[in-house]
Structure formats: structure tokens, C-alpha cells
Amino acid sequence: MLTSSSLPADSALLTPAPMPASIEMRARIFRAALDRAKAAYLKRNQCCVALGHSDDEPPLDRVSTSSCWDRLPVELQISIFGRCRLQDMGHLRLASRAFATLIDMHEQAIAREYLRFRRHGSLPSPIDEARTYTREPEDDVILLSDLFPPPKFEDGVKDAYTFRYLWSLRRRQEVCSKLAYYLADRVLDRYLQSDPAHKSLFASKRDMEACHELGIARLQFKLTPLMFYTLFFLETYAHARLTLQSDLYATYEAGRLPVPIQPVDRSLMFRKLQAEIVKTPPFTNTRTFLSTHHCIHLLVSYLRFTLSPEPPFHTSCDPWISMLLTTSGLGRIGEFFAAEKGGGNNQRSMRKEFMRNMQADWDASRNDEKALMVYGSGEESTRPPPVREIWFEAARNEMRIRGVVPHQTEDWVVVWEGARISIGCQNCEGEDGWLA
């Protein structure tokens, strides 16, 4: 048996070293800070009012994590989670089983706090004419969450604040931001190519590249919130068409639809749906309505320029553009511009991937059994609608009703000193600058 006298001289290495004074002091300061935060929080916030806790929110139960985290009130824990990024939630769930249980149990409260923090204390609410939006990047979540509020739970009463809903907002924001970037890049390239004098203003290639990046950033800043409104229209219109189709299919199954809806009648139905959308918020605000029109006009124009560089730009590509707008969505349009821009050696693979996805969208649309029963299986019945019947006709009619034909455009950007780009349409007048 070894005794202390029989241990070698270096046996002191086997005994635990005392904690350095600096680390011990930091640990004490941290524990003291936690105690102070807990005491101040409980004194200031009685009955969970710190998070605006209301009767429709579930109670906040404590979950033990066997760590110093348990010293914090549950409300303060949720407040901390609400300031984390969405991807951090996944990492925290993997930290331990207790953390996963804690986050899952309080998902609604965390999602609410996540939005409250980024919306400066508010939660999504219906859009009305009196409300204005700054269109600043840091306020993107305010506009997005008002345009796309959380769905309802099965009871149809409470809002479903979930991580899935937050991720849907994040996905929409990324889609619109990327598409705005690719569109800005296309606009600026076309601007520089429109007149050789535009390039001659730069002292060097490096100066031109720096101004090009600055111009793209400014155009993207302008276009991103307008893309939110464009996405809102396209998603609302798609949902309205799906609801109409479901109602007509129920009529067909009941035996009250003896023949399929003719293409002319279908077009009238779809125009009526769009006319109703542009008469409801946020398009009741004429400035928002006109800016959305300019954005959609710009998007379609540059899709035509890219698909068919030589005039007439829209001869053969309109069915594909119509499919992109009504079936595939803005995400697929972003994939298209990304594939055209390329990067490195992957442009070919990106184009092939886009074409595969586009073909799948085309096949799914033409093989929709409910649509075939309701609208018929003929070539004209399965063909995508003309591009002019997507937004443009309804928008022009609404402009005439509001008396804004012609109108002044407020959608312009100074991309660099002496270079002003206007985002407008054929009904704009008094434009100052190059029309994109």
C-alpha cells in the first residue's frame, strides 16, 4: 500500500490544482450577476408581464437542466432564447435532452418573443391604410410578418407561433432578397451596356467594379421590400385559385358540373380573383400598389430580356414566364437568374438543375387531376394563361378606377453620382433618369 512518504516527488501532479484566482473571481461575478438579474426581474415583472404574457399563451413551466441556467426565471430564459438566431435553436436543442425539452415545451413563447424583439415590441397585425412601413432592411420582419401572419391552430382561434412559421418568414425574406440582388445585377449590366459613355466615366476598371457593387446594393435595397408585396400577390392569387378549383371540384363530384369550365370562362374567373386582391390591403395604398406594379413590370421585362435577348422579346417565352409566376414561384425565378449568372464552373450544373425543376413544375401542373376534371384536358385548357392576364390587366383597370393613368413614379435609385435609374412602367411620366 502506498503512503504519502512512498509517493514519488512528482506525485503532486496527480492532485487537483487549485482554481486560479482570476477564474474563481469571474465565476463569482457571474453568479452574482445572475442573482442580481433574477432579483431585479422578479421585482419588475410580476405575473409574467415582461413578455406581454396573455391568457391565450400557454403557461411557462420550469424544466431542470442541472446547470446554472436553472437559477434564471423561466421568463428570462425565454427572453434570452428569443434573442438567438433560428439556427441557434437547433444547436441548443442538440446541447442536451433537457435543453431540447425546454425549447420544445416553450416553442410558442420563444417564437412570440423572437418576433417581439425584432418588431420592437409588437406582434403581427392586419395591414390597413393608416399603417406605413419604413422599407428599411432592419424592419423587413415587420412588413413580412404583417403580410404573412401566423396561421391558426386547429381550433381556429389562437395564432400558431411556431419555429416552422419563423422559418417560413426567413425563407420568404431570403427568396426576395436574392431575387432582388439578381435583378439589380441585371439592371445595372443593361444600364452600362446601353451607352458606351457610361463606362467611360470611370478612371479604372477597379473604380467601375466598386461602383457596380455599390449600385447593386442600392438597387437591391430598393427592390427587396417591393418583392415582398409581389410575393404576397402571387401567393394570395395562388391560394385563391386553389380555393376556387376545390369549390368547383366539389361541385363536379356532386354532379352539378356537367361540362368542364371553358378557357374563356376560366380567364374571367381568374381576372375577378385578381381584381378582388388589388382592392384589398396592402394594395389599397396607392403608392404601394403602383410600386408593386413597377416591380412586377421590371421582373417580367428582365425575364423576357434574359430568355429572349433579341426582339420581339416575348414571342416564345411567355408560357414559361407565366408558369414561373403562377406555379413555380419567386424561388424558382431566383434559381433561374442564379443559373444564368453562374459562378465558377458550376453554371452548367445549375442550369440543368433548374431545367429539371422547371420540367417537374410543368408536368405537375398539366397532370393535376382536379384541374383536368374542372377545366378540361384540352391543349388550350392546360396551357398557362397569357402573361398579360397575371396582374397587369387587373392593375391597369384599377389604375383607371383610381385615376392614376398616367402617374409620377417615386421608384428611382441614384446608383452612383450622376447615374439615376428609374423603375417605372409605360404609364409613368416625368421620369428623371434611365428607365430600367
- At 388-407, the pLDDT tens digits run 999 999 999 999 999 999 98
In a domain, 407, yes or no: no
> In this structure, are 94 and 235 located in the same domain?
no
Mean pLDDT of 31-55: 54
Last residue in a domain, options 119, 135, 155:
119
pLDDT grade for 3, boundaries at 50, 70 and 90: very low
Predicted local distance difference test score (pLDDT) of residue 202: 82
Cα gap 320→64, rounded to integer Å = 56
Using one digit for the tens of pLDDT, what is the confidence trace for 225-268? 999 999 999 999 999 999 999 999 999 999 999 889 999 999 99
Residue 258 sits in the same domain as residue 388: yes
Stretch among 62-71, 170-179, 201-210 having the lowest mean pLDDT = 62-71
Question: What are 368-390's pLDDT values in tens digits?
Answer: 999 999 999 888 888 889 999 99
Residue pair 415/215 in contact (Cβ under 8 Å)? The answer is yes
Domain that holds residue 330: 171-402
293 plus 384 within the same structural domain = yes
| Domain-ending residue, one of 119, 143, 159 | 119
b/e sequence 38-49, b meaning 16+ C-beta within 10 Å: eeeeeeebeebe
How do residues 88-144 score in pLDDT, each as one tens digit? 998 988 988 888 888 999 999 999 999 999 999 999 988 877 777 877 777 889 999
CA dist 29 and 34 (Å) reads 9
The pLDDT value recorded for residue 41 is 54
Strand (E) or helix (H) holding 190: helix 163-194
Give domain status of residue 200, yes or no. Answer: yes
**221 part of a folded domain:** yes
Same domain, 114 and 200: no
Own/partner long-range contacts of 201-208 (Cβ < 8 Å, ≥24 apart): 201/418
Please check whether residue 410 lies inside any domain of the structure: no
Among residues 223, 387, 420, 425, the alpha carbon closest in space to that of 307 is found at 387
Q: Which three cell numbers stand for residue 159?
A: 395564432
Strand partners, 421: 413, 434
- Domain match, 194 and 62 both: no
Q: Which of 166, 183, 257, 258 is nearest to 227 (CA)?
A: 183
45-54 mean pLDDT: 44
Residue 279 shares a structural domain with residue 349: yes
Cβ atoms of 286 and 402 within 8 Å: the answer is yes
Q: List Cβ neighbours of 328 (8 Å cut-off, separation of 6 or more).
A: 357, 358, 361
Q: How many domains does the chain have?
A: 2
Residue 51 lies inside a defined structural domain of this protein: yes
Q: What is the overall mean pLDDT for the chain?
A: 84
Burial grade of 380 (CB within 10 A; 0-12, 13-18, 19 or more): exposed
Residue 349 in any domain: the answer is: yes
Residue 13: inside a domain, yes or no?
Answer: no
Q: Are residues 70 and 183 in the same domain?
A: no
pTM of the model: 0.83
* pLDDT at 6 (0 to 100): 43
Q: Is the pLDDT of residue 15 over 60?
A: no
Higher per-residue confidence, 274 vs 126: 274
Bridge partner residues of 81 (DSSP): none
Please report how the helices 140-147 and 205-253 are oriented relative to each other, as an axis angle in degrees rounded to 10.
10
180 and 249 share a domain?
Answer: yes
Using the predicted structure, report yes or no on whether residue 56 has a pLDDT greater than 70.
Answer: no
Does residue 178 share a domain with residue 54?
A: no
| Domain match, 175 and 241 both | yes
